[in-house]
Chain A
Amino acid sequence: GAVVSQHPSWVICKSGTSVKIECRSLDFQATTMFWYRQFPKQSLMLMATSNEGSKATYEQGVEKDKFLINHASLTLSTLTVTSAHPEDSSFYICSATGTTNTGELFFGEGSRLTVL
């Protein structure tokens, strides 16, 4: 099946710094990528939808200036958590759909962010 790779798998940073998470589709062109956040024992919450070459669409309550999403190519989307704070500590997961779409979303392995 299609492969989506996410990097880094975990990151620890100091409060106030920015962290970039990459999401790559390895064997297909991802026209649309989705970014989710999951707090412990809670559901995945969609943060934003990004289409290649256009601005991301953010879900209600998600600050677009804090969570910068770039989808500049058909194989790469990045999420940058700017000025991270401890409450941003979470599991961030991307998913992608595109040229091999079969109705299934393919997820990256997730990135666990801990902000000290």
Chain B
Amino acid sequence: RKEVEQDPGPFNVPEGATVAFNCTYSNSASQSFFWYRQDCRKEPKLLMSVYSSGNEDGRFTAQLNRASQYISLLIRDSKLSDSATYLCVVNPPGYSSASKIIFGSGTRLSIRP
């Protein structure tokens, strides 16, 4: 089983739709979780950290479910500019949040007009 697994997609949704991705992780002791966004042929950029209580940043909401070992990302009122690959990132136990991290393979999202 991969340490971090994501549905590769692609998700193709109309502008204005709500879309959600899930990501599962295998190590129950993992402590830190993040969502990164990667545009084609570009470097990943931090979208948001995922906190135990869940957190929201504008149209984006992240949730953590420790019991089922998954994190989710919800995008409301999607925009054309949201088209990208969304990477789920997990910190293995024993590492600080700024050291070794494990990337999921990414979920591709395409927003159509």
Contacts and interface: CB of A to CB of B under 8 A. Distances in A.
A41 B108 CA distance: 9
A104 B44 contact: no
Contacts, number: 46
Interface size class of B (residues with CB under 8 A): 20 to 34
A93 B98 contact: no
B99 A103 contact: no
Contacts of B45: 107
Given A42-B105, A43-B106, A110 B99 contact: no
B101 interface: yes
Contacts of A77: none
Interface string B38-73: 000111111001000000000000000000000000
A98 B46 CA distance: 17
Contact of B41 (A32, A105, A110): A110
A44 B88 CA distance: 11
Interface of A: 32, 34, 41-46, 49, 91, 93, 97, 101-105, 107-110, 112
Interface of B: 8, 32, 41-46, 49, 87, 97-106
